[in-house]
Each structure stands twice: as C-alpha cells, then as structure tokens.
Amino acid sequence: MGQKARVVSEALYSDVSRAQSDPIGAPRVRFAPSPTGYLHVGSARTALFNWLFARRHRGVFILRIEDTDAERNREEWVDGIFSALSWLGLEPDEGPYRQSERGELYAAAIEKLVSAGKVYACDCTRDEVLRRTKQATTPGYDRYCRDRGLAPGPGRLLRFRVPDEGNVVVRDLIRGDVEFACSSIEDFALTKSTGAPLFVLANVVDDIEMRITHVIRGEDLLPSAPKNVLVWNALGGPELPVFAHLPILVNERRQKLSKRRDPVSVDLYRDQGYLSSAFCNYLALLGWSPPGGEEIMQIEQLVSSFDLEDVSHSPAFFDVRKLTHFNGEHLRAMAGEEFVSTCLPWLAGLVTQSRSLEVDAFRQLAPLVQERVSTLAEVPEMVGFLFVDLPEVKEVAWEKVMRSPVSKAILDAAASAYRCCDWAKEPIREATLQIAENAGMKLAKAQAPIRVAVTGATVGLPLFESLEVLGRAKTLERISAAFERMGAENIVLENAEPENTANTGPEPASGVAPV
C-alpha cells in the first residue's frame, strides 16, 4: 500500500472509531448484486468482505438487488442469490431492496439533474455514435447532442455533462487516491431512451438514499467510480462514500473468473460437500491476510481480526486444492455429534433397512471418518460397505490382492478364527495378527484380502473397527463369498505354513501386493 493510501486510511479509521461510540455514524455498507440466478464466488467474496467490515465495526450490512435491467430480472434469478447468501450466513441487516421497486426515487433524481442542467437529452442512435467515435478526439461519445438543446422526451436518453477540465479523485482505502482526468471520461448515459434509469444513476441514487459510507466492491468497478463521484456531487449528495476496490478473483490463466469456463457458482461448492465456514474462511484469505498469521479461522475470528487496510492489491487465484484443505480442517474441528448430523443428509441415498440402525452404525465409525475426509462428498463411499448386503468389489482391488493362493489361505483362516473370537476390535485384531504370523506376513499385508472381501476396496477405514461395526454374520458371509469366487477362478488353497519365497518361484508371495 502506498504512502497516500496509508494517510487516507488513518484518517478514515479515526472516523470509524468515532462511529463505534456513535451509532449515528456507524458504517453502512451494501452488497449490490444483479440477478444472475446464482451467486458467483467473486460476488460471494465481495459480500463477505462487506459483511465482515460491517460486523467488525458494528455497522449495517445492506442487501440491494440491482435489477434495473428488466430483461434480466426474473424472480428465480434472485432466489439463487438469497439462498447462497443464507448458506454462507451473510444475512443482511437491511433489505433486500430492489431497484425495480424504487422508480420514483430515480425519477426524482432525473428531474433534479435535468432542471440543474447537469444532463442533456440525446437522440443519437448507437450506429451513429459508433461511426462518429472513430474520428472523434474525445473518448467514447462525441458530445454531438451536448448543445443542441433537445428537450427530454421519448426516444431520447439522458447523458451526463462531464466537465471539460479538471480531475476526479476517487478516495480508495485499498489503493489510495486514484485520479481520473475529466477529459478521459465520456458523456455517459444515465437513462435509456425509454426513460428507464441505468446502473450508474440508480446505484448512486441508492447509495445516497441509503446513506452508504463505504463502497466495497470488485476492482472491475474502479473505472466507473469517477462517474459515481460526478453523479453523487451533481445530485448534491452528502459527504462522498469511501471506496474500497477489492482485487478480482482470477483463474489459472490469470483472467477474471468467467462463468463459461470456470466453476464459479457457490452452489457448486455446497453441493460438492464444502462447509460454509471453510468456504468463508478460504474466501476471506483471498486478498486478505490475518495479522496473526494463523489461517484456519472460524467466522467469529474472521470478524474480530478483519480490516480493509490489510487487503492486498493484486488479483488472487481461486485454488480449490487449498479450499479442500481448509474444508478438511473445518471438518475435523467439528464436535463429533455435529459431524454426524452434518453427514446424515449425504448418507440418505444409502439407507436400506432400519434408518436408526444404520445411523447408529455410522455414528460408531464417524470419528474415524471425520479425520479422513476433506469433503462431505467423500463420506458415502467410505462407509457404503455398511449398508449393503454384499459389497461391490472393485475389479482393480480384486486383481491386485485376491489372485493368490496366499490370500485364499488367509481368508480361510480368518473364516474360522472369526467364527469363535470375541466380536470386538481388539480380539479381531489379535486373531488376525495370529493369522499373519502363521503365514509369516506383516499384519499390514495380511489384512488386505480380508479388507477387499469385506469392503470391496484396498483402502478404507481401519479394518478391525469396521468389522466390529459390520457384525460377525455379515463379515463371515462376505469372506465366504470371496472364498467361493476364488474357487471359481481356480485359485487353489495352499498351506498356511511360512513359505520360503526363494524356493517357491516367482508366483506366490509376489501375488500379494502390500496395500
């Protein structure tokens, strides 16, 4: 942050601290999305920063739907935004306001600007403007209608009369003062030719009316900030708001996240099993870093340490791998019961018999699941073996460990040992260890065929705990099913004696892969 920015922010922060003891001066911020059907991750980050700032300084977080464009205004388009915000826990203190319901305000503002001569009517068609722009000296619109004295009316849009000289200074908490020469700003349109208000107008009218103190938004809006300032002053608004233009979020090609090729909908992450707390945590660290350095934080910690002056300047890449790591951390930080109830909806598709029985089985293994998953979506696969009659054995798993006489011998031994041992984790482990020793193998290697027979996979939850919860009957049933399949595949049983691999040729021992 440059020297200028620091000076500016110090001045503003003294304002803020004054505001804390004076509710009338408390910061008022707004998140102002347009209806898009879903919440974009970049928008979510903007909403989060606004919300955090408001919470941190005991201010007010306002939600305003910028739906002045009638063609893009459908009710379901806003519902998606509401539900995503609510999932994230970013509930507004005021609103939602809808610009489509605030037409009188804009009409009054237009009236005011017209009578003050701040705007003028223009009846140029887009083609005409485009054609003339090419040889014009001014940027954009060539001011053709500026002095024609056209009366406002149907078919004529209203343009802002940008001063010929001077600069517009945008005070930005993150970037310092940004100056724009008036000569580089075109006479922009404030209304459509139908008279309908455009974004630049409605946005400023509402910010004034809602007494917004801090405009926190994406950097892509920085070029429109000088226009906002111009209109604000023309409207005779009170003290200008302070801007804070957040660095944008980019993809791996360093371009603004696009809905066409990047996964940008917040819903997508919710549906993939990410926790809103982890999502907010990760989003907060995109462009901001906590003074302490500790990255894994709950929402309350975010609120207590957040500040706009710690926001960085450069675009940030949305890295789903780091998000996933954060999610795992948040999952593991949950209380056991909370983790169980959070998982339940993800298990709904697996329920076969008695729900309470299955929930109970899941609850027993949940602590082991909890430290192994990084998204909720991984849960069903991990415990699926509990809820079926016979597991679906993955072919690669079968190929890898079951095509061996040694494996068949282990299953054979396990079948008899498991028939009589006490059915609990420890005795099962003891019995299995005995089998391994008899076969001259490590426990790690010997448990593999049992795991495949019982769960269908080479990796999974700790085996003996899994067997205990599964129950003796199902365990034996699965082992014998695997045993029979091996018979059908002409895998012969051999002695469970310790073998001398040097003499038995290349086949047997190497047939069991360590898993």
Q: Which residues belong to the active site?
A: 259
Nearer to RNA, 26 or 415 (CB): 415
Residues 435-474 that bind RNA (CB under 7 A): 443-444, 447-448, 451, 458-465
| Burial degree of 315 (CB within 10 A; 0-12, 13-18, 19+) | middle
Q: Counting contacts by CB under 7 A, is residue 237 touching RNA?
A: no
- Tokens at residue 162, please? 């940008």
- CA 463 to CA 432: how far, in whole Å? 10
Query: Contacting RNA (CB under 7 A), which of 18, 58, 72, 74?
Result: 72
Query: DSSP letter at 120?
Result: E
- CA 305 to CA 294: how far, in whole Å? 11
- CA 67 to CA 98: how far, in whole Å? 7
Please report how close the Cβ of residue 306 comes to RNA at its closest, in angstroms: 13
Q: Which of the stretches 105-113, 213-221, 334-342, 498-506 binds RNA when contact is defined by CB under 7 A? A: 213-221
Please report how close the Cβ of residue 73 comes to RNA at its closest, in angstroms: 9
35: phi then psi, degrees, rounded to nearest 5: -65, 120
Q: Counting contacts by CB under 7 A, is residue 6 touching RNA?
A: yes
Nearer to RNA, 270 or 325 (CB): 325
Residues 95-114 that bind RNA (CB under 7 A): none
What radius of gyration do the chain's Cα atoms show? 33
| Bridge partners, 61 (sequence order) | 29
Nearer to RNA, 64 or 408 (CB): 64
Measured CA to CA in angstroms, residue 435 lies from 326, 401, 438, 446, 515 at distances of: 41, 17, 5, 8, 17
- CA 388 to CA 351: how far, in whole Å? 9
Q: Counting contacts by CB under 7 A, is residue 30 touching RNA?
A: no
Q: Which H helix or E strand runs over 119?
A: strand 119-122
CB 229 within 8 A of CB 188: no
Please report how close the Cβ of residue 434 comes to RNA at its closest, in angstroms: 13
Residues 482-501 that bind RNA (CB under 7 A): none
Nearer to RNA, 59 or 287 (CB): 287
Query: Contacting RNA (CB under 7 A), which of 253, 259, 261, 355?
Result: 253
- CA 409 to CA 430: how far, in whole Å? 17
End-to-end CA distance of the chain: 52
Q: Which of the stretches 247-255, 355-363, 416-424, 477-485 binds RNA when contact is defined by CB under 7 A? A: 247-255
Q: Counting contacts by CB under 7 A, is residue 232 touching RNA?
A: no
Query: Contacting RNA (CB under 7 A), which of 157, 210, 264, 411?
Result: 157
The closest of 122, 117, 132, 129 to 155, measured between CA atoms, is 122
Q: How many CB atoms lie within 10 A of CB 217?
A: 23
Please report how close the Cβ of residue 82 comes to RNA at its closest, in angstroms: 16
Q: Counting contacts by CB under 7 A, is residue 325 touching RNA?
A: yes
Nearer to RNA, 253 or 419 (CB): 253
Q: Counting contacts by CB under 7 A, is residue 220 touching RNA?
A: yes
Query: Contacting RNA (CB under 7 A), which of 23, 89, 139, 471?
Result: 139
Those residues whose C-beta lies under 8 Å from the C-beta of residue 3, and which sit 6 or more positions away, are 176
Q: Counting contacts by CB under 7 A, is residue 59 touching RNA?
A: no
The closest of 408, 406, 431, 409 to 418, measured between CA atoms, is 431
Residues 407-426 that bind RNA (CB under 7 A): 425
Query: Contacting RNA (CB under 7 A), which of 47, 205, 231, 250?
Result: 250
Residues 363-402 that bind RNA (CB under 7 A): 371-374
Query: Contacting RNA (CB under 7 A), which of 332, 394, 400, 485?
Result: 332
Q: Counting contacts by CB under 7 A, is residue 66 touching RNA?
A: yes
Q: Which H helix or E strand runs over 167?
A: strand 167-172
Please report how close the Cβ of residue 487 comes to RNA at its closest, in angstroms: 25
Q: Which of the stretches 76-84, 206-214, 316-324, 412-420 binds RNA when contact is defined by CB under 7 A? A: 316-324
- CA 144 to CA 127: how far, in whole Å? 13
Query: Contacting RNA (CB under 7 A), which of 105, 107, 114, 129?
Result: 129
